[in-house]
Amino acid sequence: MHNDAHEETILVLNSGSSSLKFGLFAPKGGDGNDSASDSSGDDEALLLSGAAEGIGRDDGSLRIRAPDGRVLLQRTHALESQTDALQKLSQVLAQQHHARPAAIGHRIVHGGPHLRVHQRITDDVRRQLHDALHFAPLHIPPALALIDEAVQIFGDAPHFACFDTAFHATLPPRAAQFALPHRYAQTGVIRYGFHGLSYESLVRQLGAALPPRAVFAHLGNGSSVCALRDGRSVDTSMGLTPTGGIPMGTRSGDLDPGVLLYLMRAERLDADALETLLNRHSGLAGYADGESDMQALEKRAAAGDAQASLALDAFASAVRKTIGGYAALLGGIDLLVLTGGIGENSEQIRRLVCDGLEFLGLPARKVRVLHTEEEKQIARHCRALMQSVVS
């Protein structure tokens, strides 16, 4: 690829709790067709992708792949933090003869009540993120640290924040507001919804083929379900935080609030202890003695492990109940889309989720499995924001 194309590259950083996924994108060549009805979604060309896994562990790894899946580089070594992983990544990009990116896109899980639109990261945006710490204490601090490190490494390039909550800004009040005194909603205690960048990418991929009534289910270590009318989010299972909704790998999902009051009183658990319990030791891991990996659970269930079978059944039932509820909300479902690591790769979970939904008229032609393209969606937003600044 020519150097002038390299100068238009966008590096996308997608941070998780113990991983850092990334993708390097260049504008698509050829006719430059960037229509939203382009079902291929291939307006951004992927130059390379990869992930730093096991951050904070001695067995951490850094893997970089070519667009065809070939492994360009694999290193196994301790990665102390996401910033350490980013430093290693920048070195490898230079070694792979990629020029410094023209822009950096950051996936921000939660921007709090005032940051709901994808935008360039300024000092003011960074301050607002810091002020929103209490909305997402597990997610915002590492995001801020990663932004700071990326600015140090790629300081002259513009940095853009893409928020997982932005897609759900269309939620009507009945879905967004909790049944609490109204003053809490005015201070930002509302349903934000997450996996928005994943859902945006599905809307983009489907284009004109997206029917008026659709339900998307992003099923992975974190899982959520979203009801869409005419391509807009009208309800979603996650709430104020990504802990709500259906049970997940290590997160509880929705609980009777009285459970938390009981634990506070009977076991003297404070907010930090509750947060650790709900986010680190619950969900599938709670059902199955600490195991949260879906493939491992499926193997255990096949071997007759009752706790693993319970975890699979409870997870699939929660997804199925949510889909059924959204069918009632929408007055029917024209399309169900499953995505995410579990949604895309677990045939057993897909079968368990769909078994019993025949009454909704969901034969195979109305159920699709699509690969989520969060990083590509972030690259699209960054490209558009860059062009708006130039124009």
What integer pLDDT is reported at residue 17 of this predicted model? 66
Q: Is the model more confident about 303 or about 5?
A: 303
Q: Is the model more confident about 166 or about 17?
A: 166
Domain chopping of the chain, boundaries: 3-163, 209-369
Q: Report the SS3 class of residue 304.
A: coil
Q: Is the model more confident about 358 or about 34?
A: 358
pLDDT in tens, 124-149: 999 999 999 988 888 888 889 999 99
Mean pLDDT, the chain, integer? 91
Was domain 209-369 assigned CATH 1.10.10.60? no
What integer pLDDT is reported at residue 5 of this predicted model? 43
Secondary structure element (H or E) that encloses residue 10, with its range: strand 10-15
What integer pLDDT is reported at residue 35 of this predicted model? 37
CA distance 235 to 216: 11
Q: Which of 257, 250, 202, 203 is CA-nearest to residue 223?
A: 250
Whether the pLDDT of residue 30 is over 60: the answer is: no
Q: Which residues are catalytic?
A: 164
Whether the pLDDT of residue 36 is over 80: the answer is: no
Whether the pLDDT of residue 45 is over 60: the answer is: yes
CA distance 339 to 373: 10
Please state which of the ranges 28-37, 94-103, 235-244, 334-343 shows the lowest mean pLDDT: 28-37
Q: Which of 302, 285, 298, 307 is CA-nearest to residue 350?
A: 298
What integer pLDDT is reported at residue 201 of this predicted model? 98
Q: Do 209-369 and 3-163 fall under one CATH topology?
A: yes
What integer pLDDT is reported at residue 390 of this predicted model? 62
Q: What is the average pLDDT across 223-251?
A: 97
What is each CA distance from 327 to 158, 320, 372, in whole angstroms? 42, 11, 22
- Taking the chain, what is the end-to-end CA distance rounded to the nearest angstrom? 26
* Cα dihedral across residues 326, 330, 333, 335: positive or negative: negative
What integer pLDDT is reported at residue 331 of this predicted model? 98
CA distance 205 to 42: 9
The amino acid present at 204, given as its one-letter code, is R
Whether the CB-CB separation of 322 and 246 falls below 8 Å is answered with: yes
What integer pLDDT is reported at residue 265 of this predicted model? 98
Percent of the chain whose predicted confidence (pLDDT) is above 90? 74
pTM here is: 0.92
What integer pLDDT is reported at residue 92 of this predicted model? 81
pLDDT in tens, 336-369: 999 999 999 999 999 999 999 999 998 888 999 9
pLDDT band, residue 32 (cuts 50/70/90): very low
Q: Which of 199, 203, 198 is CA-nearest to residue 39?
A: 203
Residue at token pair 């822009």: 103
Superfamily of domain 3-163: ATPase, nucleotide binding domain (3.30.420.40)
